[in-house]
Structure 1
Amino acid sequence: MRITPRRGIGVAAATAALVIPLATAAPAAADPGLAALARTVTVRGVENHLRHLQRIADAGHGTRAAGTPGYTASRDYVAGVLRKAGYTVTLQEFPRFFTTELSTAVLQRVSPDPRTFTPTPPRGGSLGEFATMAYSGSGDVTAPLRAVDLVLPPGPAPNTSTSGCEAADFAGFTAGDLALVQRGTCNYRVKALNAQAAGARGVIIFNEGQPGRTGTERSSLLGVGVDIPVVTASFAAGEELARAAAPTVRLRTDVVRDYGSYNVIAESRFGDPDKVVQFGAHLDGVDAGPGVNDNGSGSAAVLEVAARLGRIPTRNRLRFSFWGAEEYGLVGSQHYVANLSAEEKARIRLYLNFDMVGSPNYALKIYDGDDSDATGGPAGPPGSDEIEKLFEKYFDTLGQGHVGTDLDARSDHDSFAQAGIPVGGLFTGAEELKTPAEQALFGGTAGVPYDSCYHEACDDIDNVNGEALALNTGAIATAALVYGFARDLPGPDTRPVTVARTLAPAAHDDHAGAPAR
């Protein structure tokens, strides 16, 4: 593991200037003792959690994906650390199907010119020319292959192709055939469902073909409902199949569907229960590998901060969340938010999300709460801009560059944003390519993914950048102290006015807090 920061920045150094943002954001919390407390959150502690998650993956056939023994062991480890730290811990079970690939898939051109395409193993190994999609059905089909509204050669920009996005694309499709569909415009689930409705017995969705969109993708159909085999394929494999004359193809997938998983929710025993400051990271990985950066890094950093603050009497209630099945479409966090009452939602004053905070070729990205970067991403609910400013102040105080990143729907913050709760967080990049401007700010290599092991078997203990991990862990500790002790929190107070609040508005205004509810 890369535990030595490139410029020698550790959590202790990263939190040395805490008094400034604390004094600015929360006068009552401008206490050098709190800055000293933040320094007890060490990168060594985070690394210890990461090593434990790696050992869990090693014992669980190389994965910590939802529905596997590796996830169950990860859940139990995190819950044990939190209980020991003094939290009230809830294991929230949620019912949902998950898919696990039992054996290696098969994709063959039977005729003309028989050829077997290189598969992606169910766990571990490099990406092949095709890969089974999460939530795919099982089956072994040999049938004619029909191209569906392809754009070959590919258009100049991503999402030029609309292949399979409309039911009309399958007009004249022969039921019982296999469908060849191209990536672009709509998500894979839409394409697969349209193909299934047209009578396809299996679907091959190949990459679109522009730079950065040529290789095989590990991806998900985002839920059950597709009962036929569905695989992704590289652009080269898809183009080869598309240009064959009336090809007959064999497609085989071998998948089992598991049921249910868990979130881990830890509630502090201190602070105003009507002013909840919630932190979260997804705990699951993908089938392919240990998931140490994605998202062991976010989970371990949040866990270490929680462990150090568990017995601190904050003004506001701290809540730490570790989500299951994020990789299957934010399933755990969506279940959690959907099952909150209106009153419970109103008590959550903000939610902070940390997904991949140690990418090897990192950029320090702050969720853009108000779309001030004008990149076209959605602005968050009111108050999200204030969270963005806190993280900007943290990095500015350190003289550390930072960039914005869109509040898109790729991680668990979206579940809270959709409920109108102010959101924010940090991210260091996934499969996208680092820009020259980011190389100038953060070092590393432009034109290379932030994490070349994203969703791969190599996302292991050696796939984490110690400098990024230290800086972001310091930021999480800063946010926990600022918002844990702040008199005023971001966003409007949406709690309903009650008699108790009217008569005793300052009932929880002391540092001692209130007993857990």
Structure 2
Amino acid sequence: MAQSSRTWRRRLLAAGTAVVVGVVVAAPPAQATGGGSGAFQSWLVRKAVTANGVLHHLKELQKISDRNGGNRASGSPGYNKSVDYAEKVLRKAGYRTSRQAFDFQTFLINTPSELDRVAPAPGALEHRIMSYSGSADVTAPASVPMGDQFGCTAAAFGPANVGTIVLISRGTCPFGDKALAAAAAGAAAIVVYNNTTGALAGTLGNTFTADFAAVGITQALGQELVAQVPGGLTLRVRTDTFRGMATTENLLAESRWGNPNNVVMAGAHLDSVPEGPGINDNGSGSGAILEVAEQMRLLHPKNKVRFALWGAEESNLVGSTYYIANLPQAERDKIALYLNFDMVGSPNYVRFVYDGDNSAFPPGTGSAVGPPGSGAIEALFHDYFESQGLASAETPFSGRSDYGPFIAAGVDIPSGGLFTGAELVKTEAEAAVYGGTAGVAYDVCYHQACDTINNVSRKAIDEMSDAVAHAVVTYAFDTRSLGAPTNGPASGSTAPAGGGGGLHDDHEYAS
């Protein structure tokens, strides 16, 4: 009887040599692993990690969502079942698991939001509700801010905005500030339009408690509506939401082997947004973590490996922030680095690497300062992709995913990771290098109900999960390269001019 692929993979890892089950396995070519300590182990694990393995986990997360109201948002039954599933996988693979409970301000959508043009040319308009929006059902004339288009302060509004639905441009200040300023000026609701291509899926922030509605639309639609205001434009905004305190959990899993004073962390957020099952965002990152953890289970790493599946990321990184805030300094000091994997299966993907050395996106351009060592992590990913004959590009080190608390001032843990793109639109230059379709979002279902098992690229998952495995295993055996000097984009980077990934708008406060 033929051996199953998983049996073969288990025996391959268990052997740890060039002879596996009586079959001679050729040593990997040096350029495929980057050489150095952990190179052979990286090759072994990458041979064992498969897209099918990741997709198995994604299918299970889809089933959980289907059985629990269509989402896996933190605080919901779908999220709780997702934690149960992931913990079972990790325990079976031999890891020591623990849960970390915390309270957070949750946001749930009771019924789908609506944005309609009442007059002229009545009809429904494409939009996204902003997280933490209040509930409302308002039909009113539309207006624009009387001061400036960004609507950040009380001075931007005047009598003509009272009782109206105000069209406000993204930019200059957090979305929550726009909403608060408009509400204080007597506006009935706001519609924020993007200042770049693509949909706008923003958040008012988990401290926003005003009973005031806010939705986001594209730049093109915003410009169309603004042009109609002088002639008389009437809109309807309807939102039906719940905001309140809830309890959720982070899930942590630690290897039984390795130096406990030199910890390699890798994480992904397990929660979805309330709008859908979140299979790309971020089942894909969670699934990759689970597959890599499973296939590493027979290794004896030199450094302790700690996997984290974060809760309430979609509520502004609450889980990872809570973890860092409650970690004693002595334990923080043991973390050698943190690797973050948030969306690694986008259907119209690009192989984005976080710009840890700030060479492509300096601080002040929407990018945070990378702690020393972050540039070396970036270089490792670029060099890996180059060794596989694959292009890669930088994406801003914005701090808007779960690595943010790790790189915050006073924490300064070297960090990096991968990202395949969210709501922004793929450029012609990117399509020429990476394939896919120019003029279309990296993920057209970002933060929507259609982010299902059908919304992931198998090819992206295959390529990116191997890169995840390479980085985790490499550092599990040797972290000395974190001290290597870096100077500008790594040699493996082939980003087109102006290349850079879509920022995660769900965490965008400084819009």
TM-score between the two structures when normalised by the length of structure 2: 0.80
2:367 is the alignment partner of 1:382: no
The equivalent of 2:383 in structure 1 is 393
Q: Given that residues 115 and 126 in structure 2 are in contact (C-alpha distance below 8 angstroms), is that contact kept between their aligned partners in structure 1?
A: no
Tell me the secondary structure at the aligned position of residue 67 of structure 1: coil
The equivalent of 1:445 in structure 2 is 437
**Aligned-residue offset at 1:286:** 1.7
Q: Given that residues 19 and 35 in structure 1 are in contact (C-alpha distance below 8 angstroms), is that contact kept between their aligned partners in structure 2?
A: no
Q: Given that residues 167 and 193 in structure 2 are in contact (C-alpha distance below 8 angstroms), is that contact kept between their aligned partners in structure 1?
A: no
Inter-CA distance 372–147: structure 2 relative to 1 (3 Å threshold) = closer
**Aligned-residue offset at 1:486:** 0.7
**Aligned-residue offset at 1:146:** 5.2
Offset from partner CA, 1:281-303 (integer Å, 9 cap, x none): 11112222221111111110111
Q: Given that residues 353 and 412 in structure 1 are in contact (C-alpha distance below 8 angstroms), is that contact kept between their aligned partners in structure 2?
A: yes
Q: Distance in 1 between matches of 2:41 and 2:166?
A: 64
Inter-CA distance 106–289: structure 2 relative to 1 (3 Å threshold) = closer
2:204 is the alignment partner of 1:212: no
The equivalent of 1:334 in structure 2 is 321
The equivalent of 2:23 in structure 1 is none
Q: 1:283 aligns with which of 258, 264, 270?
A: 270
Q: Distance in 2 between matches of 1:78 and 1:297?
A: 13
The equivalent of 2:477 in structure 1 is 485
Q: Distance in 2 between matches of 1:102 and 1:357?
A: 29
**Aligned-residue offset at 1:179:** 4.4
2:251 partner amino acid: V
Q: 2:206 aligns with which of 216, 223, 236?
A: 223
The equivalent of 1:61 in structure 2 is 69
**Aligned-residue offset at 1:328:** 2.0
Q: 2:457 aligns with which of 427, 440, 465?
A: 465
1:98 partner amino acid: T
Inter-CA distance 140–358: structure 2 relative to 1 (3 Å threshold) = closer
Offset from partner CA, 1:185-212 (integer Å, 9 cap, x none): 2221111122234454x4212314x661
The equivalent of 1:135 in structure 2 is 132
Offset from partner CA, 1:420-468 (integer Å, 9 cap, x none): 1111111111122222332232221222221222222222112211221
Where structure 1 has 5 or more consecutive residues not aligned to the other structure, the ranges are 1-11, 119-127, 152-160, 493-517
Where structure 2 has 5 or more consecutive residues not aligned to the other structure, the ranges are 1-12, 14-25, 485-511
Q: Given that residues 146 and 177 in structure 1 are in contact (C-alpha distance below 8 angstroms), is that contact kept between their aligned partners in structure 2?
A: yes
Q: 2:145 aligns with which of 141, 144, 148?
A: 148
Percent of matched pairs sharing the same residue: 43
2:264 is the alignment partner of 1:295: no
Tell me the secondary structure at the aligned position of residue 283 of structure 2: helix
Inter-CA distance 167–482: structure 2 relative to 1 (3 Å threshold) = same
The equivalent of 2:420 in structure 1 is 428
The equivalent of 1:507 in structure 2 is none
2:432 is the alignment partner of 1:413: no
Q: 1:253 aligns with which of 227, 239, 245?
A: 239
**Aligned-residue offset at 1:40:** 1.6
Q: Given that residues 284 and 461 in structure 2 are in contact (C-alpha distance below 8 angstroms), is that contact kept between their aligned partners in structure 1?
A: yes
**Aligned-residue offset at 1:82:** 0.8
**Aligned-residue offset at 1:34:** 5.4
Q: Given that residues 107 and 252 in structure 1 are in contact (C-alpha distance below 8 angstroms), is that contact kept between their aligned partners in structure 2?
A: yes
The equivalent of 1:79 in structure 2 is 87
**Aligned-residue offset at 1:248:** 7.4
Tell me the secondary structure at the aligned position of residue 273 of structure 1: strand
Inter-CA distance 78–149: structure 2 relative to 1 (3 Å threshold) = farther
The equivalent of 1:157 in structure 2 is none
Q: Distance in 2 between matches of 1:35 and 1:142?
A: 60
Q: Distance in 2 between matches of 1:34 and 1:250?
A: 55
2:299 is the alignment partner of 1:315: no
Q: Distance in 2 between matches of 1:345 and 1:284?
A: 24
2:314 is the alignment partner of 1:324: no
The equivalent of 2:178 in structure 1 is 191
Q: Distance in 2 between matches of 1:471 and 1:107?
A: 39
2:426 partner amino acid: K
Offset from partner CA, 1:262-299 (integer Å, 9 cap, x none): 21111112111111110011111222222111111111
The equivalent of 1:498 in structure 2 is none
Inter-CA distance 252–444: structure 2 relative to 1 (3 Å threshold) = closer
Offset from partner CA, 1:120-174 (integer Å, 9 cap, x none): xxxxxxxx444432111224456676532477xxxxxxxxx4x221232235577
Q: Distance in 2 between matches of 1:58 and 1:207?
A: 32
Q: Distance in 1 between matches of 2:481 and 2:101?
A: 30
Q: Which moved more, 1:304-313 or 1:475-484?
A: 304-313
2:341 is the alignment partner of 1:354: yes
Q: Which moved more, 1:175-184 or 1:382-391?
A: 175-184
The equivalent of 2:35 in structure 1 is 24
Q: Given that residues 136 and 231 in structure 1 are in contact (C-alpha distance below 8 angstroms), is that contact kept between their aligned partners in structure 2?
A: yes
Q: Given that residues 130 and 231 in structure 1 are in contact (C-alpha distance below 8 angstroms), is that contact kept between their aligned partners in structure 2?
A: no
2:51 is the alignment partner of 1:43: yes
Q: Distance in 1 between matches of 2:432 and 2:161?
A: 54
Q: Distance in 2 between matches of 1:368 and 1:467?
A: 23
Inter-CA distance 238–19: structure 2 relative to 1 (3 Å threshold) = same
2:211 partner amino acid: I
Q: Given that residues 353 and 419 in structure 2 are in contact (C-alpha distance below 8 angstroms), is that contact kept between their aligned partners in structure 1?
A: yes
Offset from partner CA, 1:75-129 (integer Å, 9 cap, x none): 111111111111121221221111112124455678xx588652xxxxxxxxx44
Count the aligned residue pairs.
Answer: 450
Q: Distance in 1 between matches of 2:120 and 2:437?
A: 41
